[in-house]
Amino acid sequence: MGASFVYVFIFLLTLLLYVFLRKNKKESQQIAKLPPGSMGWPYIGETLQLYSQDPNVFFAEKQKRYGEIFKTHFLGCPCVMLASPEAARFVLVTEAHLFKPTYPKSKERLIGPSAIFFHQGKYHTRLRRLVQGSLSLDAIKNLMGGLGAIAASTFDSWAGGHVVNTYQEMKKLSFDVGILIIFGNLEARYREELKKNYLIVDKGYNSFPNNIPGTRYKMALQARERLTKIISDIISERKEKKLIEKDLLGCLLNSKDENGQILMVDQIMDNIIGVLFAARDTTASAMTWIVKYLHDNPKLLEAVKAEQNAIRRQNDEANQPLSWSQIRNMPLSSKVVLESLRMASIISFTFREAVADVEYKGYLIPKGWKVMPLFRNFHHNPEFFPDPQKFDPSRFEVAPKPNTFMPFGNGVHACPGNELAKMEMLIVIHHLVTKFRWEVVGTESGIQYSPFPVPMQGLPARFWKESSN
């Protein structure tokens, strides 16, 4: 009798526990449900829908249908997309510790696993201080002369009216600026070797990852090896000559943490290649859009020319180069830069991965899911930017609402190169509009993804040098 009472008691207790746990699970599911949206086909999800059309149209249609937070599934990953500034801030700033950066392994392997983008926490903070230091206003001010010389010689090579692919040419320019930031005035033979091998890495970056000799990916891996060899030769030479430079390489080489630990060679290599990657195509794409927008808006171009020619006349009279205070006082050109960044939204979105189950506005973002703040969606939202398809720099006479304008991201991983990129664009505008006129070739309009958005065919154009006025 006693024993059977214990059995009945245990049975009832288990039953009660079961009912309690089920109820709790149901309740937590009710409190936090998955966001609306379609997960598409098994495994392939909505990959085909995304790749068969303009990704911005895909995201905009989803937002129209489901609202500012929705789920999807592509490239084998379940994702939550966030199309509101508050949601982006939640992921990138306020709850950034719950979302880690995430990149495909094949890309991590090409750039280098110790590069700043892939990390969080102490190592990231240390690197960030170093990278930010060498890209600070004080550091980049001193590079104005070097940057002006790069812009002038690049544009001179375009003059003469032959057709150039503006994007390809802008990539040459922004690569040289990247080299200047990292290595200072580097010997031409090193620069050429770095360029040759970087181009092979770049070609393989978006190709199918494999180890088969002769494929783009494998060739990219081999070129990356050669890049590290060239960089280590540069480092050895600096050490031999006891050179202590203030460029990014110098900062990385001289850094010691609180325990006196220096960075390992691999860490230095990965970050140098990483910064080159971050700096080149982004800035080149933005500068190509500036050339297009100015071309398409002749009245605006005249006004920008007037602003820049006034500066040029001043400098010609005093026989002086463009100065930092002039760069900081180009009201119209600065707004052209901001409006180009908004319209083009070079980094249309970014990726993070939830490190735990996270709840946002009653929705569950499950651990391991990718999360994508869609910068472009809020840059093109008429609620924040009226008539969003119109190129209108004057909208920046008033500061955008907080967190609605994030061309350089937000939070701990926000772009440390943003001031350099803006300075580069203003120097390019100055040289371009004061010394050249140009015509776009062909009538093809629209956006091409490479993978950043660029005008169709890289904006073929003809440039002529104008006699000084």
Map residues 315-334 to x or -, x wherever contact with ligand HEM holds by CB under 6 A.
--------------------
What residue is closest to ligand HEM based on CB? 417
Per CB under 6 A, does 421 bind ligand HEM?
Answer: yes
Per CB under 6 A, does 429 bind ligand HEM?
Answer: no
Per CB under 6 A, does 128 bind ligand HEM?
Answer: yes
Per CB under 6 A, does 139 bind ligand HEM?
Answer: no
- The answer to whether the CB of 32 falls within 8 A of the CB of 24 is no
Min. distance of Cβ 279 from ligand HEM in angstroms?
Answer: 4
Q: Which window, 15-23, 77-85, 410-418, 460-468, contacts ligand HEM (CB under 6 A)?
A: 410-418
Q: What is the DSSP string of 335-381?
A: HHHHHHHHHH-SS----EEESS-EEETTEEE-TT-EEEE-HHHHHT-
Per CB under 6 A, does 194 bind ligand HEM?
Answer: no
Nearer to ligand HEM, 312 or 420 (CB): 420
Angle at 406 between CA 311 and CA 324, to 5 degrees: 25
Min. distance of Cβ 405 from ligand HEM in angstroms?
Answer: 12
- The answer to whether the CB of 193 falls within 8 A of the CB of 230 is yes
Per CB under 6 A, does 350 bind ligand HEM?
Answer: yes
Q: Which residues of 250-259 are buried (b: 16+ CB within 10 A; e: fewer)?
A: bbbbebeeee
The reply, when asked if residue 77 is annotated as ligand binding, is no
Residues in 261-280 that interact with ligand HEM by CB under 6 A: 275, 278-279
Residues in 102-121 that interact with ligand HEM by CB under 6 A: 116-117
Per CB under 6 A, does 346 bind ligand HEM?
Answer: yes
Per CB under 6 A, does 80 bind ligand HEM?
Answer: no
For residue 428, give the nearest of 239, 107, 155 by alpha carbon.
Answer: 155
CA distances from 464 to 108, 158, 161, 173, 378 (A): 42, 8, 5, 18, 38
DSSP-based three-state secondary structure for 443: coil
Residue from 283, 288, 334, 434 touching ligand HEM (CB under 6 A): that is 283
Q: Which 8-state DSSP code applies to residue 414?
A: S
- The answer to whether the CB of 385 falls within 8 A of the CB of 395 is yes
Total number of residues that touch ligand HEM (CB under 6 A): 26
Q: Which window, 48-56, 146-154, 390-398, 402-410, contacts ligand HEM (CB under 6 A)?
A: 402-410
Q: What is the DSSP string of 147-201?
A: HHHHHHHHHHHHBSS-EEEHHHHHHHHHHHHHHHHHHSS--HHHHHHHHHHHHHH
Nearer to ligand HEM, 127 or 322 (CB): 127
Nearer to ligand HEM, 140 or 322 (CB): 140
For residue 176, give the nearest of 287, 298, 83, 279 by alpha carbon.
Answer: 279
- The answer to whether the CB of 454 falls within 8 A of the CB of 288 is yes
Binding-site members are 415
Residues contributing to the site for ligand HEM (CB under 6 A):
116-117, 128, 131, 135, 178, 181, 275, 278-279, 282-283, 286, 346-347, 350, 407-409, 413-417, 420-421
Binding-site members for heme are 415
